[in-house]
Amino acid sequence: MARFELKLPKMGESVAEATITNWLKEVGDRIEADEAVLEIATDKVDSEVPSEVSGVLIEQLFGKDDLVQVGQTIAIIETEGDAPAETKTEETVIPAAAAEIEKTIEAVKETVTAPQDFTSSDKFFSPLVKNIAKEEGVSVAELNSIQGSGKDGRVTKEDILKYIEDRKSGAVTVKVAETPKTVEAPKVVEPAVQKSQQAVPVSVNGGDEIIEMDRMRKLISGYMVASVQTSAHVQSFIEVDVTNIVKWRDKVKTAFEKREGEKLTFTPIMMEAVAKALKDFPGMNISVDGDYIIKKKNINLGMAAALPNGNLIVPVIKNADQLNLVGMAKAVNDLGNRAKAGKLKPDDTQGGTYTVTNVGTFGSVFGTPIINQPQVGILALGAIRKVPAVIETPEGDFIGIRQKMFLSHSYDHRVVDGALGGSFVKRVAEYLEAFDVDRDF
409 is catalytic: no
pLDDT < 50 stretches in the chain:
83-93, 108-114, 176-198
Assess contact for 381 and 364: CB atoms under 8 A: no
The confidence score (pLDDT) of residue 136 equals 81
Closest CA to 332 of 382, 377, 242, 271: 271
The per-residue b/e assignment along 115-136, b for 16 or more CB within 10 angstroms, e otherwise, is ebeeeeeeeebbeebbebbeee
The confidence score (pLDDT) of residue 86 equals 46
289 is catalytic: no
C-alpha span between 112 and 186 (Å, rounded): 13
C-alpha span between 405 and 197 (Å, rounded): 40
The confidence score (pLDDT) of residue 331 equals 96
| pTM score over 0.85 | no
29, 413, 436, 438: the active-site residue: 413
- Which stretches within 231-319 are classed as H helix? 243-260, 266-280
Assess contact for 18 and 36: CB atoms under 8 A: no
The confidence score (pLDDT) of residue 85 equals 44
The confidence score (pLDDT) of residue 187 equals 40
66, 417, 436, 438: the active-site residue: 417
C-alpha span between 360 and 310 (Å, rounded): 16
At 379, phi and psi to the nearest 5? -115, 130
